[in-house]
Amino acid sequence: MGEKIIDVKNLVKTFGDHEVLKKIDFSVEKGEVICIIGSSGSGKSTLLRCINHLETPTSGDILFHNEVVKNTQKSLTKYRSCVGMVFQSFNLFDNMNVLENCMFGVRKVLHLSKEEARTRAITHLKEVGMAPYINARPSQLSGGQKQRVAIARGLCMNPEVLLFDEPTSALDPEMVGEVLSVMKSLASQGLTMIIVTHEMEFAKNVSTRTIFMDNGYVVEDESPEILFNHPKNERTKEFLHRYMEAKVS
């Protein structure tokens, strides 16, 4: 077993009286590719956002290398520079071009030199096939291209873990493939990732562990072979069954 990077302990998150996450416990080891699946509203995004503290947990802790992540700017800055996030809506900076988007965090958060930032940016933009577009503005790119830039921007920070919240859900179907193939290649390079997704094929083929969430609980946390072929829980079976039906029709 690899080295433990993130530990989620007794995580509870409520919005008003609505308890969205109910005592979540799980940990992430180096090199794991964890896919989180589950129906809409089950709390997947909230879990991911709590993991990098975009939402402050109501109770419970997030541990990073066995240390509790404190809710101070200093400790959050350090933590978030190691745990990147890719969003469904890309969230690229509209006032910067592609190259500047990728250099931004390296300069402003890691405080590295311009040369280093540029080298990293070009390297990772090449990796996602977006290097020719360094001068383009986000508004001039397609959804798939934007998402690949967003992934490159995340990689430029040299994160230990990269979180993805439904990275292909906002894309036209013909662009889903290009983003998934980039993610697949990152997985094969051993990057640790937590991916919330509705792409079941991807989860089945690429993840090393799949988590099924329902109604704020982690219902099943298994290898994809077991979860997809022999789910133990009734709810998991139902969800997968519904999913298969939707796909056939």
Partner 1 sequence: MEYGLLLSSTPGAEGSLFAWCAFLLKKYSGMFLSATWTTFYVAVIGTIIGFILGFLVGITNTIVIHKEDNPIKKVLLHILKWIVAIYSEIFRDTPMIVQGMVIYYGLRQNDVMISSVMAGILVIVLNTGAYMGETVRAGINSIDKGQEEGALAMGMSHFGAMMTIILPQAIKNVIPEMGNTFLSNLKMTSVLNVIGVSELFLMAKTAGGAYYKYYESYMVIAIIYLVLCFVINRILAFVEKKTKGRKDYELATEYITGD
Ligand X SMILES: Nc1ncnc2c1ncn2[C@@H]1O[C@H](COP(=O)(O)OP(=O)(O)OP(=O)(O)O)[C@@H](O)[C@H]1O
Candidate residues 34, 35, 37, 92; the one interacting with partner 1 per rule CB under 8 A: 92
Distance between CA atoms of residues 65 and 29, nearest Å: 10
HSE (side-chain half, CA atoms, 13 Å) at 199? 26
Q: How many other CB atoms are found less than 10 A from the CB of residue 112?
A: 16
Residues in CB range of 112: below 8 A, 6 or more apart? 106
Counting contacts by CB under 5 A, is residue 168 touching Mg ion? no
Residue 121, token pair as written in the block: 């940016």
Residue 117, token pair as written in the block: 């930032």
- Smaller CB distance to partner 1: residue 12 or 122? 122
Distance between CA atoms of residues 118 and 130, nearest Å: 14
Residue 43, token pair as written in the block: 């709390």
Residue 69, token pair as written in the block: 């992540």
Candidate residues 24, 32, 34, 44; the one interacting with ligand X per rule CB under 6 A: 44
- Binds 46: which of partner 1, Mg ion, ligand X, none (CB < 5-8 Å by kind): ligand X
Stretch that binds ligand X, among 2-10, 43-51, 92-100, 110-118 (CB under 6 A): 43-51
Sheet with 4-15: strands ordered across: 18-29, 4-15, 59-64, 67-68
Counting contacts by CB under 6 A, is residue 236 touching ligand X? no
- 166-195 residues in contact with partner 1 (CB under 8 A) are none
Smallest Cα–Cα separation from 225: which of 240, 238, 213, 208? 208
Stretch that binds ligand X, among 34-42, 106-114, 179-187, 225-233 (CB under 6 A): 34-42
Counting contacts by CB under 8 A, is residue 140 touching partner 1? yes
Contact by Cβ (8 Å): 216, 15 = no
Candidate residues 6, 24, 32, 45; the one interacting with ligand X per rule CB under 6 A: 45
- Smaller CB distance to ligand X: residue 127 or 221? 221
Counting contacts by CB under 6 A, is residue 57 touching ligand X? no
Footprint of ligand X on this chain (CB under 6 A)?
Answer: 15, 18, 20, 38, 40-46
Footprint of partner 1 on this chain (CB under 8 A)?
Answer: 52, 54, 56, 71, 73, 76-81, 84-85, 87, 89-95, 97, 104-105, 108-109, 122, 125-126, 129, 131-137, 140, 150, 153-154, 157
